[in-house]
Every structure is written in C-alpha cells, then in structure tokens.
Amino acid sequence: MILKYQFGHVLPTGAVYCPEAVAKTRVLKRGSAAQIPHFTMLPDGQLFYRLGDEDVVYGLGEQARGINKRGWHYESLNTDDPNQNEGRTALYGAHNFLLIDGAERFGIFLDTPEKVEYDIGYTNYDELVVKPPKDYDLYVLEGESDLEILKLLRKLTGPSYLPPKWAFGFGQSRWGYKSARDVRKIVKKYRELQMPIDMVYMDIDYMEDYKSFTVDAEKFPKFKKFNEEMAAEGIRLIPIIDAGIKIQPGYPVYDEGTEKGYFCTKADGTPFVLGVWPGRCVFPDVLNPRAAVWFGDQYKALTDAGVRGFWNDMNEPSIFYTEDRLKEAFPRVAAYEDQDPGAVTFFEMRDVMGRLSNDPADYKAFYHQIGKKRVRHDKVHNIYGQKLTEAAAEGLKRAVPEERTLLFSRSSSIGLHRESGIWFGDNISWFSHILMNLKSAVNANMAGFLYSGADVAGFVGDATPDLAMRWLELGIFLPLLRNHSSRYTREQEFFRFGMEADFRNLLKLRYALIPYLYSEFMKAALSDGLFVRPLGFMYPEDARARRVEDQAFIGECVMIAPVYEQNATGRYVYVPEPMRLFRMRSAEDYDTEVLQKGEYFIEAALNEVLVFVPKGKALPLAKAEGVRSVRDLKPGFERVLKYGETAVSYEFYEDDGLSREAGPDHVRKLKL
C-alpha cells in the first residue's frame, strides 16, 4: 500500500509515473501534530523515527558508505567531487528513498528537487531523522517484504530503463583517447589478444574545443565512415556529452539556444556564465520543456553518423568557476601580494581560488523558466541532471525509434531510472573501491538504476595489475562493464599489465555469462525487481545474512564474493544455504565443491573468481570461444553450473536485444 502526504506545493519533478498507485493522499501542515505512519513529526518539520537494535536501514542510492546506512549522515545534493571517501555526505545522485527493515518494515520516498538531509544514527545511534525542505511529497510504502516494498517504489516511479543487449559487452574508455588513430590502436590490441570487446568510449577530446555535439574533423576525419569501420569490427563508439555549452558565436548550438532563450539566466535576465572544460559556458535550461526538446534533438548530429550510445557528464551541473566570482577573486588574491601571508592568511588566500568550484552561492545565482514561473536553480538542483538526460532519451527515441540505445548519466534522481542508467563517477584505483563498487551496485539497483556501474580499475590514481584483475573479477557480473581512467593516471587497459591469458579468460567468462546476465536483468526490469540483490533480501530470516555487505546475488542463481584486499589469497565467505562453489579460472577451467551453510575461508588465487550456485539453481554459460563481440554469441549454452546432477528449471529471457518492445512473452522455461 502506498500513502501520500503532501507538504506545501512541490514543483513537479517527474519522479512519479503512476499516481494511481497511491491508496490515500493527505495534505499536511509542516510541524503539525498530524499522524504519519511510523514517524513523529517534530515542530520544525523534521521526521523522527526510533531505530531498534536490529533495524537495518537500506536506501539513498548513490552514497559513499554501506548498504546499511546506519551510523552516518547524508544529503541529497547532486555534487561533482572526485574525492570519493567515507567522509562524503553526497555524491552525484539524489535518491530520496529509505527502507527500514526490522521491528517494523516500511519504505519512504521523498519527492522533491531540493536538498534533503538524513541523520541515520549519526547523532544518536538509535535515531533516524529526516530533514526535508518546506515543500515535498512524502510517500510511505507498506509491504510484507523488502522486495515488495521496492516493487511499490518502482510501481510508483515507473519501470527501469532497458539497454540494448550489446551494452552488456565490455567497453574500454580513457580520458585521453584523442583521435581515430588512438581508438583504432586500442581496438587492434584487444582484437589481437582475442580479448572480447564491444565499445570504445570517446571522452571530451573528440570534440572541437570541447563543444558538445561537435566532432573535431582533424582528429576524427570522416567520422561517419570511421563509425562504420568500427561497426564492421563489432565496435560501438560511445561519445560523452557535457552539459555546459561553449559561448562562441558561430557555434550553432550556442547561437540557436541564445536566440530561442534556452539557456539559464541570472536574476537580471542576462546569461549565467560559468566555466567548465570548454571555458566560458552557458547551461541549457532543460527544465523548460521546449528547451529540453531542442537539447534532445542535438543528439541527432551524432546518431546521424551512426552513434547509438552516449554518456552524459557534468550535469549536476558541475561549475568550475563563474565569471562573476572569478572577477571578484582576482583582486582579492592580488591584495595579498605584498604581504608575508603566514600560515592562516596563506590558507585563506589559497581558498579564494580553491573554493570557486561548485560554490553553493553560484547555485543560487541562476534561474530556470518552467512554464510561466522563473525558478531559482537551488530550488530544483537535484533534477537538473535527470531532466538533461531525459531530454537526451526523448531525443534518441525520436532519432532512432526502432532501437534501444545505450544511455547513462553521471547525475540523476529517482525517475531518471526509467530512461537511463548511471555510472558512479570519479572513483579511485584503490582496493577499497572494489568493495564500494559492489555496495553501490546494490544501492543503485534499489533506487531503480539496474543498469549501472563504476569505472573498473578506478578513475583517479594509478591502477596496478592485481587491482585491475581483482576489480574485473567483480565487474564481469555487473551490467555496465567499463574500464575507464583519468588522463592524469597510468594507462590501465587490460592489456597493459601482462598476465594476458588471465585477463582474456576473465573477459571471455563475462561473454559466457551474458545470456544469463541479460536474462536476469530483463526479468528484474520487467518485474520491478532487483538484478543485484543484497543477501538480506534473499534470506530475510537470517540475521547473519542481513549484515553481509561484501557479497551479493547476481540475479536469482548466483552469489558472488569478490576479493577486495590486496595480496589476499582468498577471503571469508558466508554461505547462507547449501551451495556449490565454482572457483573459476575461465568459463571452462574451474574446480568445485559443495559447501553447507556456514562461514569459510575460501582460497582464490589472483586469477580465480568465486561463484556460488545454491541448491536448485543453475547458471548456464554460453560458448565464448571465438566470440569477439556480443553479436558473435550463438544461441544455446555450452555448459551449466549447478549444485547437483538433477535437472533444474530456469526461466530464460531472450529477445533480439535491440527492439524497444520487450515483455514476459520472451521468457521460456528451460530444463537445465
């Protein structure tokens, strides 16, 4: 059952897809003594809930901490900051959803484009406090199980985005590929080494002066032909699109947007000028429906050249500096020139420049035109990335109506999960971020973003051979498998580190898994379920399982337990029911044993992946030998990994992987 409580008048966010799913709506006054199930409303409007010792708090989507959110404070405030550590309270997305699992079981979803704060046992370990803005809609979700509550959230906010099947292939990326030559070299190397690959990502250097929707004709001459050449190789080119539009008369996107009034303005109506990669830029006002259609149509410049996938970056929106504040900053810094600053003054001086990026004051300095209303940005901040990527999705539907396209965004809020995936932005080449990747996958799935992933081997910082290997051993199970890194780091393509046979085996194992992964993904999406599942959802009665955060289920049939510690020879694994362990060096080469319920230290050499299949389940593997890209995968399976000898039934989803129609009629019952 879904109950709705309205506080003030929230600006429509587009998060709610099925308002009919709501059983009862009440209009409430902030801070009144009104009864909201489970919560006490404090006089200042905060929502208070007393946590029991055993309560687990799930939710909030993209955050740097755990699956269980207890013991920290969080904000929903879409933020571009590449320093992803445990001290962070907000990342790129705003996913205002909590699921309390304990003495009581219920979910809440706050529909608002503004900042929300959460104290989940931070001030007091047994207190959960939600600090909402003035205007918001609160949805309370009541269900029998955690999964049922999540399904209610999805029923309310709509079904998850469906990527094409080729998007389950492996993609190589680096901020640093500068030309068609660079891309060809990468593809050639992967092909030579017989490491399967489907996508090469193009980062900002493909553009002319970082201008979105342009391709530099010198670095990528005859781009359409180049794209065809790659397509013939089985490779899709996936260009990045940045939110900031360069101010440059003669650049059609800038000229047209200016003429039509489609860019964000300051209070006085003049353009809001900010700096990002292209230098001085303006923001497309994608909250204005007409501007959104116009922005979405810009993708045609690239779809006409045959492109079928994009990643949207910088759409929090990220601001390096604004023109106005930069103008103020120079004289302030100059004023220090003749002084001996001493430590305190020196730090102040440094901060004058250092604090320019993403300054909260700048987010209050520009406006959107929503119908007849002019709305200040900070009132709608958290839906900017969503609206921009929705505009892209709509544009892609118009440009390529017959095909599913690949689309994922850095910034998001709940609602965008209907149209796009997300990636988790600028992580770090640290072992601890392998574990963070697993937790993020669970958390993003709960928020509806089934198609999601992190930069495998890490974006910031230098990867090492063992880090790349261990990270790939997790990445092969997650939908968006992309190796991506910053230009300031060591190159980290999977052929850079030696151990080529091992990397090849892992990538081939990924391709052998694709029919299963795709099947489980599509079933999860079509049933409003989860693709990556925390153990607590699978074994709700098992107190130990509810606390496990370094293992997860991939679909119904496979439990994974990645190694995320450097130089470890294995790891402890909690086995919540009888399972068969497959210690896999490749799709064909593994040893196996049956494990009863319990805790084990399980050996896993650097090139070994741990796969657990419970009794009664089966993991079918496709033939990956000779497969270079997803299109080479033949129907049928080469082998089935299962607990025992007896045949088990499996509901297999299979379609053409491309057409926009998908549905339960593509499910077949198999005996494996």
Binding site for ligand MIG (CB under 6 A): 175, 203-204, 240, 313, 410, 425-426, 459, 484
Nearest Cα residue to 257 out of 286, 234, 232, 278: 286
Residue number with CB closer to ligand MIG (105 or 484) = 484
User: For residues 512 and 638, what is the distance between their CA atoms, to the nearest angstrom?
Assistant: 9
Instruction: Assign 519 to helix, strand or coil.
Output: helix
Q: What is the CA radius of gyration of the chain?
A: 25
**One-letter identity of residue 339:** Q
Q: Which is nearer to ligand MIG, 309 or 536 (CB)?
A: 309
Q: Which residue's C-beta sits nearest to ligand MIG?
A: 175
User: Shortest distance, CB of residue 456 to ligand MIG, whole angstroms?
Assistant: 12
Q: Quick one: 203 or 502, whose CB is closer to ligand MIG?
A: 203
CA distance 222 to 111: 46
Q: Quick one: residue 226, left, alpha or beta (phi over 0 = left, psi -120 to 50 = alpha)?
A: alpha
111 versus 205: smaller Cβ distance to ligand MIG: 205
Nearer to ligand MIG, 354 or 498 (CB): 354
Question: Considering the complex, what minimum distance in angstroms separates the CB of residue 395 from ligand MIG?
Answer: 21
Residues whose CB is less than 8 angstroms from the CB of residue 225 and which lie 6 or more positions away in sequence, other chains included: none
**H and E: helices and strands count for the chain:** 13, 40
Which residue, 460 or 611, has its beta carbon nearer to ligand MIG?
A: 460
Judge contact between 607 and 671, C-beta under 8 A: no
**Identity of residue 608:** E
* Nearest distance from C-beta of residue 204 to ligand MIG, angstroms: 4
DSSP string, 455-512: EET-SBS---HHHHHHHHHHHTTSS-EEE---TTS----TTSSS-HHHHHHHHHHHHH
Nearer to ligand MIG, 108 or 183 (CB): 183
> Which residue's CB is nearer to ligand MIG, number 299 or number 367?
299
Pick the closest to residue 358 from 98, 557, 116, 79 (CA basis).
Answer: 79
Smallest gap from residue 81 Cβ to ligand MIG (A): 10
**3-state DSSP call for residue 335?**
coil
Nearer to ligand MIG (CB atom), residue 404 or residue 410: 410
568: burial class by Cβ within 10 Å (0-12, 13-18, 19+)? middle
Minimum CB separation of residue 313 from ligand MIG in Å reads 5
User: Of 284, 222, 239, 287, whose CA–CA distance to 258 is shortest?
Assistant: 284
CB of 503 to ligand MIG, least distance (A): 22
